[in-house]
Structure 1
């Protein structure tokens, strides 16, 4: 079964049986549920939704199904075509639309696709709203429009231009400083829409772009998650072309990984750290990430006399806390940059512009910049339990076991020790506890994970 229904949307593998995979009927049902939910909650007759998709092979098919379904409900559709997640998020308020749907499975392989749901602010709908949409999908209580009331359809081809211009207009993006450096940038866009949008931005910033996998065919040349083990080709290209910086994005361009001039990974956790370092140097304020992100962000924030706060895992949770704390910068350790002066969504394009500004102003190489940040290493393990074991009880025992340490129960149990931390989260679908650790060496991080597993087993 590869159909995952959650409060943030629906995703699954293309083909197969209804309710087991992401079939045309499932797409229609879920698009109907979201459209109906909007109609039930808006005090207006004519609704407009913005849609856009990444370049994956099933994108056009899924887009056609969603478009026709929304029109069938009497909802107007503005279709951006090939787009990015942050571009759709930008365009919803830009066009005064009532919401949006992004057709992307993000970093999942090519057989996957998804519908991600946005409110009128261009932000992901809340968990409560998502639950209401899921309930509507189960009930199939839909009322389609009669022929004279079908929704209108239009396309826009200027969304990237609008998105990029908004980035260039940001006071903290110094276009002239970047242009003066004549940066040579290598780009791996995994044959999706980043191959269109990022070169457009880099051109405006006066950079030379060396393109790798930038044709938006949807045929991903490697696993599309921007992790070190998948990025050997661009690391080699960096050395061959003597590029200054490498940029890697996932298919929907909301995650940004960086590579230094030596062909070494900057570290996905450190994309946010570097951008925060630049912004907090000029404006005091809060920095936000989730509980499983690196402690390096906290260290950098404190070095600028700014506060750091951690949210539960999930972009919606990060954004909620950012608004509460009026944060200067936030995001997730997977390379997701959320810059509220532009919009409340992970955005690789604004991440590139802010990072290049920082790099230009510091007058350092990428490796020199990275060397100036605290060095941490992360470990990820899991412990599988038998179904009859009460996972919540185990987590409660761990909280008690380490009550003299700095413990957070916002999302599972996170224990902050003086020199390292461990975060325990239960799976929502199986009797597993996921164990994330961070320390000053990989060996220490892995050992901490093993120690915690041993402690859990002793409490069972």
Structure 2
């Protein structure tokens, strides 16, 4: 059947500038006539789309179904050769990255706003990933943006609604659409990375050891159900909230101590030994144990420490290097130094890790924003991190039976010392005030008035606005976050985040290192309080934002 391509006049919309996290706006903005169509057309024009194979899927949030139909109509008109789509449009972000790489696809269109709330009054997002499976770099997102500013027409094929619940292949003109099992390929990948037999043996040898995985009504629910119940043979009571919902059940699908409080309460009150959660699109994770919260900074350091010992994938490939985002604690650096590995400090944004991985210089990496991953794909991977912890628990228990999450943490501190670390998030603050706050700090850095200054009991060694010179492509990323580094190695970092859909989010990071074993069990907030006081006083955050307390503390 020959498809008839229709040309429809359109006008540009302001603000369709995607970052590496894509374009995120309120659903009602995407629902404007031609708004979604314009952005998808801009992506297809930028690729370019003729003959392309694209992987398409999302986290199940509100407005997913309508956007899938738009992609079909525009792709058919643009000459796309094939769309590979998860059943019911469901594909986690790590699963999309894996499929792009496995299929040698041109790229992928991800329909997600990650950890942001969903529903008709909340957020939607569209993101493009390139052929390595990672987020589109700036040269691609800039091209998409430039097209979006001048777009005048849409090319569509008017086709009946596609039923994405049915597995198999169908055609719209020359366009082939293949609907696949959302979970299968990803599960096979995990089984090739980790020692599932060892994990199964650990659970069978420790029948009283209980774990609980919280899918937060996001995309990883079906993956968790398949992994933990079907593959590892755990009881149904080991998983919760594993059905993807358009509004995530009214919850905020962000795996931290604030928004995953249901999981935290159950682990604390019902005798679970290991708790874990993932976010809306599956790229973030949280790990907790009995009376033990694993900071993402500690988590990536511990995974890196055990990688070659415990995880089959790294026994085959080796560990080529380690990397962390700049705000992430320096715990990972200590592992790299002890193991003689190259390590990197990069700006926030997974594309920087991807460059290092593609060049064979990074195997394990992480961000303090609950993102952890490796070179098996080019996105952070929540379930990968959770299974890594189970693999490590199984490995450690062979030598030290009865070891839990808290024991692994304390053992790590005995080797490396402890990097006390916390992040304060002030969400949806007035953007003007937040910018003024940062500009004031930049001015203080430029005039060098902070260097050598005494702030409370801390003396400033250096202060800068982080600049990254990418060793792979030579690009320079400036103004990536204010860093105040003290003489004792403690740090303050202040940066504005661009992952929300409205207002600004101020992130304040505090880090203090201790090699005093008597302090390793101390409460994090108490250990950091004097440094937090210094940060709030220096930044004048309350004055500029009007906020007396953070939205989230992690």
If the TM-score is normalised by the length of the shorter chain, which range does it land in? 0.7 to 0.9
Tell me the C-alpha RMSD between the 2 structures: 3.3
Match of 2:511 in 1: 438
Q: Is the 8 A contact 2:300 2:366 kept in 1?
A: yes
- Tell me which of 178, 185, 202 is aligned to 1:181: 202
- Structure 2: give runs of 5+ residues left out of the alignment: 1-12, 159-170, 204-208, 310-314, 398-402, 427-432, 453-459, 469-479, 514-526, 544-554
Q: Does structure 1 residue 421 correspond to structure 2 residue 491? A: yes
Q: Which has the larger radius of gyration?
A: 2
Map 1:24-39; keep pairs closer than 5 Å. 25-39=34-48
Match of 2:70 in 1: 65
- Compute the displacement of 1:72 (Å): 2.5
Map 1:85-96; keep pairs closer than 5 Å. 85-96=93-104
Q: Does structure 1 residue 273 correspond to structure 2 residue 301? A: yes
Match of 2:17 in 1: 5
Q: 1:216 to 1:284 in 2, by over 3 A?
A: closer
Which whole-Å deviations, capped at 9, do the CAs of 1:58-117 have from their partners, x for residues lacking one?
Answer: 221222222222223222322112110010111112223211001011011112111110
Q: Does structure 1 residue 256 correspond to structure 2 residue 285? A: yes
- Compute the displacement of 1:380 (Å): 3.4
Q: Is the 8 A contact 1:284 1:305 kept in 2?
A: no
Which whole-Å deviations, capped at 9, do the CAs of 1:381-428 have from their partners, x for residues lacking one?
Answer: 787464996775444235873695386533234243333112243678
Q: 1:287 to 1:24 in 2, by over 3 A?
A: farther
Counterparts of 1:145 and 1:62, CA distance in 2:
13
Map 1:141-290; keep pairs closer than 5 Å. 144=155, 150-170=173-193, 173-182=194-203, 184-202=210-228, 203-209=230-236, 210-221=238-249, 222-262=251-291, 264-279=292-307, 283=318, 285-290=320-325
- Compute the displacement of 1:219 (Å): 3.2
- Secondary structure of the corresponding residue to residue 43 of structure 2: helix
Match of 2:407 in 1: 368
Counterparts of 1:426 and 1:208, CA distance in 2:
42
Counterparts of 1:305 and 1:121, CA distance in 2:
28
TM, length-normalised to structure 1 = 0.86
Counterparts of 2:421 and 2:439, CA distance in 1:
31
Map 1:75-94; keep pairs closer than 5 Å. 75=80, 76-80=82-86, 81-94=89-102
Which whole-Å deviations, capped at 9, do the CAs of 1:262-316 have from their partners, x for residues lacking one?
Answer: 4x43233333222222115565542101101112222233333334321011111
Counterparts of 1:219 and 1:431, CA distance in 2:
22
TM, length-normalised to structure 2 = 0.72
Which whole-Å deviations, capped at 9, do the CAs of 1:135-167 have from their partners, x for residues lacking one?
Answer: 011111657378999551423323421111122
- Structure 1: give runs of 5+ residues left out of the alignment: none
- Secondary structure of the corresponding residue to residue 180 of structure 2: coil
Q: 1:303 to 1:207 in 2, by over 3 A?
A: farther
Q: Is the 8 A contact 1:109 1:224 kept in 2?
A: yes
Deviates more, 1:99-108 or 1:238-247: 238-247
Counterparts of 1:320 and 1:400, CA distance in 2:
34
